[in-house]
Amino acid sequence: MEGRIYIPNNKKIKEEILKENHDLADVGHSGQHRMLELLKRTYWWPGLKEDVKKYIQGCFKCQQNKVQHQRVVGELHPLEIPKGLWQEISIDIIRQLPKSNGMDVIVVIVD
């Protein structure tokens, strides 16, 4: 902690520091680890790491440009066109999305 600025438990001050060290053009939406390293050079407060993680997870641009580390899924094979309603049904579950109103999954059902 020596040589760093201690930030009191003030949400507004912490959010301003996080914003200045992430959103500005010269910093350029660096990832969670890089942002934490930059902040730790100057600032310290209890829960700094968790606050940085939450801030990055809430950043729309970071989530939009996030690199996917999953294998590429296989080729899709369309179903034949059914002759009537409810004869062919497909279900798809999309998981691990950024949370929205506490939810992170979408279920798609197609008739």
The average pLDDT across 14-32 equals 79
Residue for token pair 């970071």:
62
Q: Across the chain, what does the average pLDDT equal?
A: 85
Query: Under a CB-based contact definition with an 8 Å cutoff, are residues 71 and 62 in contact?
Result: no
**pLDDT at res. 92:** 92
Instruction: Note the pTM of the prediction, 2 decimals.
Output: 0.55
Model confidence at 83, pLDDT cuts 50, 70, 90, reads: confident
Model confidence at 94, pLDDT cuts 50, 70, 90, reads: very high
